[in-house]
């Protein structure tokens, strides 16, 4: 998969792989991530890095529910490292690649391409406009429930991982 | 400060695409999963037979891609295994599928059971049959991965060929 270096406008090869136990220390010492990722150490957490370096650029925690009657994958958290957030970010498409990866895992694990998540209103609006997630119900101040069905998920995979 | 509070204070641009699920009580967690489940069931009812087939085939394709990119070899994941999956996921009988790609059913059976290697023509027919959703190269790479294992582990061929090598380098790197 490729992410974009916004300084040079060039595509850079990136990799998403399972997090290793020693990564938690690096995440904390880098001070580039705000979330407490150690709290997810018993769940499926993946990191995105450039092919040529070991520095972690983004993280995602997913929980597949493959049993019949469920068959959806829940994204519990996504975080892009500070240097690549906001107007001054250096690299683009990190979150897109992580979300598309979660979608691909949804197919692979028998969750039929369905992704669910709960996000605060501002982020939810962004996920709706940028990633095609649909609103399926509000949880009030806690956030919005959102879904990506297989067709939208496959579009994300084609766009970010293709 | 709790992370959720930190996040609420940020502007959408600063938040960017990062998010974390809210901290929920056990009851709220169960209610959320239940609501996801109910919505999931609603989606299931709306899916056509074609949608369900596409989902099945996408899963198969991604499994094939992951197997090919993995460094490990799994004997169960042969060319024949994935071909059988491709046919079965379409709810087709081997005989009908053989007819659709104009090959003898007994040849198809031999390929599925790894008693015979598929030809290039066969692989191209798979690509055409799948409307290029499963390109020939993905099938070819499966064969290549099998061949890699065979050539690395075939002691018999090494013993047979030994007698033909009359002279060899006298050192190892």
Residue B75 is predicted with a pLDDT of 85
Of residues B17 and A10, more confidence is placed in: A10
Give yes or no for residue B29 having a pLDDT over 90: no
Residue B7: band (very low, low, confident or very high) from pLDDT cuts 50, 70, 90 = very low
Distance from CA of B36 to the nearest CA of A (A): 7
Q: Domain extents for chain B?
A: 49-153
Pick among B5, B17, B43, B63 to test the A interface (most A CBs inside 10 A): B17
CA dist A100 → A38, A83, B57, B61, B115 (Å): 23, 21, 18, 16, 38
A135: nearest CA partner in chain B:
B39
Q: What mean pLDDT comes out for the span B34-38?
A: 92
CATH for A111: 3.40.630.30
Tell me B134's DSSP state.
Answer: S
Residue A88: band (very low, low, confident or very high) from pLDDT cuts 50, 70, 90 = confident
B8: nearest CA partner in chain A:
A120
Q: What is the distance between the alpha carbons of residues B151 and B91, in angstroms, rounded to a whole number? A: 35
Q: Complex ipTM, two decimals? A: 0.91
E strands within A9-128? 10-18, 44-50, 56-65, 72-80, 91-92, 115-119
Pick among A36, A103, A108 to test the B interface (most B CBs inside 10 A): A108
Between A34, A79, A114, which is nearest B40 by CB?
A114
Tell me A84's DSSP state.
Answer: G
* Residues A72, B19: C-beta atoms closer than 8 Å: no
- Please give the tally of structural domains in chain A: 1
Q: What mean pLDDT comes out for the span A38-53?
A: 94
Distance from CA of A41 to the nearest CA of B (A): 15
- Which residues constitute the domain of residue A134? 2-160
HSE-CB of A21 using CA atoms within 13 angstroms: 1
Write out pLDDT tens, residues A91-137: 999 999 999 999 999 999 999 999 999 999 889 999 999 999 999 99
* Residues A136, B35: C-beta atoms closer than 8 Å: yes
Does the domain formed by B49-153 have CATH 1.10.260.40?
Answer: yes
Task: Return mean pLDDT, chain A.
Answer: 94
Write out pLDDT tens, residues B85-130: 999 999 999 999 999 999 999 999 999 999 999 999 999 999 999 9
Q: Nearest-CA neighbor of A61 among A81, A80, A73, A75?
A: A75
Residue B2 is predicted with a pLDDT of 45
Least confident of A129-143, B7-21, B73-87: B7-21
Give yes or no for residue B10 having a pLDDT over 80: no
- Written as six digits, the tokens of A148 are 């990506």
Residue A100 is predicted with a pLDDT of 97
Residue B4: band (very low, low, confident or very high) from pLDDT cuts 50, 70, 90 = very low
- Written as six digits, the tokens of B1 are 């400060």
Count of pairs with CB atoms under 8 A, one residue in A, one in B: 121
Q: What is the distance between the alpha carbons of residues A26 and A38, in angstroms, rounded to a whole number? A: 11
Task: Return mean pLDDT, chain B.
Answer: 89
Residue B9 is predicted with a pLDDT of 42
């Amino acid at each position: 998969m490729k992410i974009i270096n916004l300084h040079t406008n060039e595509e850079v090869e990136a990799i998403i792989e399972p997090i290793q136990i020693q990564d938690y220390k690096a995440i904390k010492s880098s001070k580039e991530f705000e979330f407490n990722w150690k709290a997810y150490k018993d769940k499926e957490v993946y990191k995105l890095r450039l092919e040529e370096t070991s520095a972690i650029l983004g993280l995602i925690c997913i929980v597949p529910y493959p049993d019949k009657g469920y068959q959806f994958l829940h994204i519990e958290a996504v975080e892009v490292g500070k240097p690549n957030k906001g107007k001054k970010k250096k690299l683009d498409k990190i979150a897109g690649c992580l979300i598309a990866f979660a979608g691909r895992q949804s197919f692979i694990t028998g969750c039929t391409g369905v992704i669910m998540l709960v996000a605060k209103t501002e982020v939810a609006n962004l996920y709706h406009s940028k990633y095609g997630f649909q609103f399926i119900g509000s949880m009030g101040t806690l956030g919005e429930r959102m879904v990506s069905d297989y067709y939208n998920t496959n579009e994300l995979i084609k766009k970010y991982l293709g | 400060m709790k992370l959720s509070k930190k996040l609420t204070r940020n502007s959408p641009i600063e938040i960017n695409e990062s998010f974390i699920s809210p901290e929920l009580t056990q009851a709220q967690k169960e209610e959320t999963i239940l609501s996801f489940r109910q919505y999931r069931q609603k989606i299931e009812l709306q899916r056509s037979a074609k949608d369900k087939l596409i989902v099945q085939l996408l899963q198969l394709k991604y499994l094939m891609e992951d197997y090919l990119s993995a460094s490990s070899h799994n004997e169960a994941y042969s060319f024949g295994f994935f071909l059988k999956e491709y046919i079965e996921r379409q709810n087709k009988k081997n005989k009908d599928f053989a007819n659709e790609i104009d090959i003898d059913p007994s040849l198809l059976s031999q390929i599925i059971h790894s008693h015979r290697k598929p030809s290039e023509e066969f692989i191209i027919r798979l690509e055409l049959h799948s409307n290029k959703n499963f390109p020939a190269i993905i099938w070819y790479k499966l064969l290549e991965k099998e061949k890699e294992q065979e050539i690395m582990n075939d002691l018999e061929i090494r013993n047979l060929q030994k007698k033909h090598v009359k002279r060899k380098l006298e050192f190892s790197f």
